[in-house]
Structure 1
């Protein structure tokens, strides 16, 4: 069985990536920055071009990538998948979707968030309440997962960090040791309307990239409902 995030190197193999996208409508890949670095091209752009080229069956050098006015990357081709990109110093992650807007984020699992001033700037009251019974280690693990999911959600919306992370939240998000099923809520902790909730696929799988947490969010779960455009 393929992992939730498929490890990729420039030399392939690429068949599993195309198969995952055809079967699920979403594929997320990750690779070491050192393996994807090459003169004149950023590792992230290299991964995106190679991945998009593989799923579209075209030369990666012919893949045109652009950015919308809001900063979202997109593929300059008709009927191309929606794309998102994230990286740390060591890992680059790319995500493709054929049925909706996608956002992806990756952070180092050891990033320290718990107990710092950033907690109030990135959480709702409901999220902070959920942290209270947790140990510092479990609380930090939960915050790293929460941060990546909020980044991914904001990227899928196309607003990035322009949307305050206190304006929305997620509940049902564990700090590790099991697959989370997060649900969306507003700034006051009120759950999102069922119709809006159903439009989102929110994923924070455990241990999919060694030493890192990867999250992705897709909005537009019904076939033909993506409305994709740059």
Structure 2
């Protein structure tokens, strides 16, 4: 992973981010996820879709892994969308399970009114999901709120005339001032940062991207230098706190962006489910659920 690039969302007090952690299969590696949370309060986890195919699990196993998302999974009719939906949710569940000290099938996702996911029964960890083509990305933080976004680095945006829909006037001038061969990359950077920020606050594409800036007065010139401390400017109604962000370039086939809101309450150190729930209740639930039914057919690795 190369090319850590700060942006105008970052402030002088922003906490550092660890490098994104690549997961190559069910066995992880998962230990770095816990290490990143302990070191930074944030962990970014990604996987190539070719390496991570829980949709190939036997039906009973897949249903347990998806939990309440099972019905939504069945409703999806496009095969590629269905695969990415299952793979991204289960990747997130495995990562959260590592922090909670439980099995991935014990992690339940919920969704707020506008679609932002959360972990049921554990408010110490905020999560976000993104997937694009062959890449899955999830973010976890104990600092406050998190949003992540991933896009192919070669996606054509500038030539499609999208800049005026994605950028403020100042950002558009900054893009146009760059050499022509760097404008598309800068536009992808801005787009993924705005996606990450609006995912964190739970508005997504409902926020007009041209109405607020993520670049600030010290926006990166594309050379990998540090961004300014102007913060996210112009978007009203967002939560208070200290925003920080990074953009990572992977391989360099993908652009990964993350935005974090530090709510000011410190980093939650205890993320295990056993400390979030009544032990008596946990024991009763385990007894009621009993042993898992055997997996018949499908990929034995799952």
Place the TM-score, normalised by the shorter chain, in its bin: 0.7 to 0.9
How far, CA to CA, are the matches of 1:143 and 1:101 in structure 2? 24
Q: Distance in 1 between matches of 2:225 and 2:104?
A: 34
Indicate yes or no: 2:265 matched with 1:223.
yes
Cα shift at 1:174: 3.0
CA contact (8 A) 2:232 2:243 kept: no
Q: Distance between the aligned counterparts of 1:106 and 1:60, measured in 2?
A: 23
Whether 1:45 and 2:45 are equivalent positions in the alignment is no
Q: Larger Rg: 1 or 2?
A: 2
Separation in 1, partners of 2:100, 2:225: 31
Whether contact under 8 Å (1:36, 1:46) holds in the other structure is no
Q: TM-score, normalised by structure 2?
A: 0.66
- Report the CA distance between 1:209 and its aligned residue: 5.0
Deviation at 1:118, TM superposition (A): 1.3
Shift of 1:84: 0.2
Distance in 2, Cα, partners of 1:132 & 1:85: 31
Task: Tell whether 2:250 aligns with 1:203.
Answer: no
Which structure has more relative contact order (CA 8 Å, sep 6+)? It is 2
Query: What RMSD over aligned residues (CA atoms) do the two structures have, in Å?
Result: 2.6
Kindly state the Cα deviation for residue 186 of structure 1 after the two structures are TM-superposed. Answer: 3.4
Residue from 254, 271, 285 that aligns with 1:212: 254
- In structure 1, runs of 5+ residues without a counterpart are none
1:6 matches 2:14: no
Give 1:94 shift: 0.3
How much has 1:113 moved relative to structure 2? 1.1
> Any idea what the Cα deviations from partners look like across 1:37-76, whole Å, max 9, x if unmatched?
2234511011101000011111111111111111001101
Q: Which residue of 1 aligns with 2:47?
A: 31
Q: Which has the higher helix share?
A: 2
2:116/2:199 contact within 8 Å kept: yes
1:13-55 CA deviation, whole Å, 9 max, x = no partner?
2111101111211110111112222234511011101000011
Residue number among 101, 109, 115 corresponding to 2:153 in the alignment: 109
Secondary structure at the aligned position of 1:4 is classed as coil
Q: Show the 5 A alignment for 1:97-136.
A: 97-136=141-180
Q: Which runs of 4 or more aligned residues in structure 1 lie more than 6 Å from their structure 2 counterparts after TM superposition? A: none
Partner of 2:197: 153
Q: Which moved more, 1:131-140 or 1:61-70?
A: 131-140
Greater strand fraction, Structure 1 or Structure 2: 1
